């Protein structure tokens, strides 16, 4: 069989990694795929630099549309990121009947429904293993490996930058700002880290995971997003004292009346595997009704791990390139006409356990008043401790049992209105992942 001809859009970190993987492991890949996978064209800003890397024999151009429209190209690999130019090139590739492999989570989380619909119309594949958790084959695991299950929930450490920052905050007692500065020095965080530390990148990935797990359209705008930039060192220390670690989790959970989709810092019992995923590593826990909990761990970013996922998708494309489209795995794991329109729940309706911290005047009756408010809201407390602050104040920490978020919102409002309460209430969510 003739080789699969790839058009590469972008030759940045992941693009250069993809070139390297396809070059260095060409034989091993062909032993598996049964045909060679060859980069035939590259679109890149700096043509001269790219030419030095790839040598002759490959079309190098600064015009992405030239690659996308090139008749010799079977599959377009989009690695430029963003959702403007990338979107235009991907849509044009699809219209030209070319398969697409992409690592672009923002593009798919925001425009996935349109893109998959166009791809279906033009009978081409759109594969995106590299868009979630880098080299970990989590898309394939959920989409195919767990196909026998009602997936109940997914909880993932799916942003390496924040996990590195949180690991450093815990291990070395650093503030968020200092840990972030260090992550930037070491190359784990970008100069503008907003998308990572504010949870937006994790929410893009969670959007895709939820669609794959539940068979729902991509709904990025429905994801509740809280990042880690406001996380205080003292909360990490209190959590540790209580036997928990704080991780930025993306959580998707099936409830009887809808789906929960949320990204936020989360307390996890310290003995869970997920709590022990440190540094820039990623891990995703997926629970199915038949298989129980399963976990997938590995490098979630970096040139070669991400390229490993890109090339795995290319091997799939190489196998199914000329196959009847009906034989291919659906884009979002479920047949496009079998997607579920059950709604995503508003945040007030999610159910979680909670960590609440507040500062109060240290005088009799305080705990009774707080307990009465929590109890009246139907919030049951699992544990509590208090530490003195100065001469006359104390910090109180509550851990609740499962409660409805709306009830907690109401209780927090009432607590903050109490005369002896001297701070806002810091609220974090707790997941036991069982």
Q: Catalytic amino acids?
A: 205
The CB-based long-range contact list for 325-330 (8 Å cut-off, 24+ gap) reads 325/120, 325/123, 328/125, 329/143, 329/144, 330/143
Among residues 10 and 227, whose Cβ is nearest to a copy of itself?
A: 10
Q: Which residues bind a copy of itself (CB under 8 A)?
A: 1, 17, 21, 24-25, 28-34, 129, 135-137, 140-141, 144-150, 215, 271, 273, 276-277, 283, 288-299, 304-305, 307-312, 314-316, 319-320, 322-324, 326-330, 333-335, 338
> Minimum distance between the CB of residue 407 and a copy of itself, rounded to whole angstroms?
32
Report in angstroms how near the CB of residue 134 gets to a copy of itself at its nearest: 8
| Assigned token pair, 245 | 């670690």
| Alpha helices (runs of H) in 122-156, residue ranges in sequence order | 138-140
Buried-state track 84-119, b at ≥16 Cβ within 10 A, e below 16: eebbebbbbbbebebbbbbbbbbbbbbbbbebbebb
What is the nearest approach in angstroms of a copy of itself to the Cβ of residue 299? 5
Q: What DSSP line would sit under 73-128, residue for residue?
A: -SEEEE-S-SSSHHHHHHHHHHHTT-EEEE--HHHHHHHHHHHHHHHHHTT--EE-
Distance of closest approach, residue 289 Cβ to a copy of itself, in angstroms? 7
Residue 218's CB: how many other CB atoms inside 10 A? 23
Contact indicator for 239, 355 with CB cutoff of 8 Å: yes
Identity of the residue, 363 or 432, whose beta carbon is nearer to a copy of itself in the bound complex: 432
User: CB-wise, 133 or 411, nearer to a copy of itself?
Assistant: 133
Cβ-based nearer residue to a copy of itself, 235 or 431: 431
- Asked if 282 and 206 touch (Cβ cutoff 8 Å), the reply is no
User: Least CB distance from residue 286 to a copy of itself, whole Å?
Assistant: 9
Q: How far is the CB of 321 from a copy of itself (least distance, A)?
A: 8
Q: What angle do CA 326, 112, 405 make, to 5 degrees?
A: 120
If the CB atoms of residues 32 and 241 are measured against a copy of itself, the closer one turns out to be 32
CB of 196 to a copy of itself, least distance (A): 20
Q: Which is nearer to a copy of itself, 184 or 294 (CB)?
A: 294
Q: Strand, coil or helix: what is 358? A: strand
Q: Tokens at residue 165, please?
A: 């920052």
Nearer to a copy of itself, 277 or 344 (CB): 277
Distance from C-alpha of 210 to C-alpha of 343, rounded to nearest angstrom: 12
CB 420 within 8 A of CB 363: yes
Q: How many CB atoms within 10 Å of residue 370?
A: 24
Least distance from a copy of itself to the Cβ atom of residue 143, Å: 8
Residue 345 in contact with residue 257, Cβ under 8 Å? yes
Query: Collapsing DSSP states into helix, strand and coil, what is residue 272?
Result: coil
Of 48 and 148, nearer to a copy of itself (C-beta) is: 148
Round to whole Å and give the CA distance between 94 and 365.
67
Is the dihedral angle over the CA atoms 197, 199, 202, 204 positive or is it negative?
negative
């Amino acid at each position: 069989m003739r080789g699969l001809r790839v058009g590469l859009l972008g030759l940045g970190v992941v693009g250069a990694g993809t070139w390297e993987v396809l070059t260095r492991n060409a034989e091993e890949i062909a032993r598996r795929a049964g045909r060679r996978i060859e980069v035939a064209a590259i679109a890149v800003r700096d043509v001269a630099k790219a030419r030095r890397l790839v040598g002759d024999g490959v079309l190098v151009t600064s015009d992405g549309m030239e690659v996308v429209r090139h008749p010799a190209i079977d599959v377009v690999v989009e690695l430029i990121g963003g959702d403007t130019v990338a979107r235009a090139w991907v849509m044009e590739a699809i219209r030209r009947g070319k398969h697409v492999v992409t690592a672009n989570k923002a593009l798919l989380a925001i425009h996935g429904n349109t893109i998959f619909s166009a791809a279906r119309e033009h009978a081409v594949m759109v594969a995106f293993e590299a868009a979630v958790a880098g080299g970990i084959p989590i898309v394939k695991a959920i989409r195919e490996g767990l196909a026998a299950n009602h997936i109940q929930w997914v909880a993932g450490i799916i942003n390496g930058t924040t996990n590195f920052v949180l690991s450093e905050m815990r291990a070395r007692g650093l503030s968020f700002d200092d840990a972030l500065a260090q992550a930037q020095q070491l190359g784990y965080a970008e100069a503008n880290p907003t998308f990572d530390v504010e949870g937006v990148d994790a929410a893009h990935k969670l959007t895709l995971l939820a669609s794959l797990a539940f068979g729902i359209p991509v709904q990025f705008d429905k994801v509740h997003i809280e990042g880690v930039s406001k996380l205080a060192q003292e909360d990490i220390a209190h959590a540790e004292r209580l036997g928990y670690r704080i991780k930025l989790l993306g959580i998707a959970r099936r409830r009887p009346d809808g789906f929960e989709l949320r990204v936020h810092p989360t307390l996890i019992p310290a003995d869970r595997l997920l709590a022990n995923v440190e540094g820039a590593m990623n891990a995703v826990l997926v629970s199915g009704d038949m298989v129980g909990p399963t976990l997938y761990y590995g490098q979630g970013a970096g040139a070669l791990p991400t390229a490993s996922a890109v090339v795995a998708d290319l091997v799939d494309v190489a196998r199914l390139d000329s196959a009847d489209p009906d034989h291919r795995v659906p884009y979002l794991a479920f047949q496009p006409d079998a997607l579920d329109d059950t709604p995503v729940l508003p945040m007030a309706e999610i159910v979680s356990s909670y960590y609440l911290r507040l500062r109060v005047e240290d005088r009799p009756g305080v705990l009774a008043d707080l307990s009465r408010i929590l109890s009246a809201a139907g919030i049951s407390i699992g544990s509590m401790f208090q530490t003195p602050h100065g001469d006359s104040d104390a910090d109180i920490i509550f851990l609740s049992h499962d409660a409805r978020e709306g009830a907690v919102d109401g209780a927090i409002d009432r607590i903050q209105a109490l005369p002896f309460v001297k701070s806002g209430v810091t609220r974090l969510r707790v997941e036991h992942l069982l």
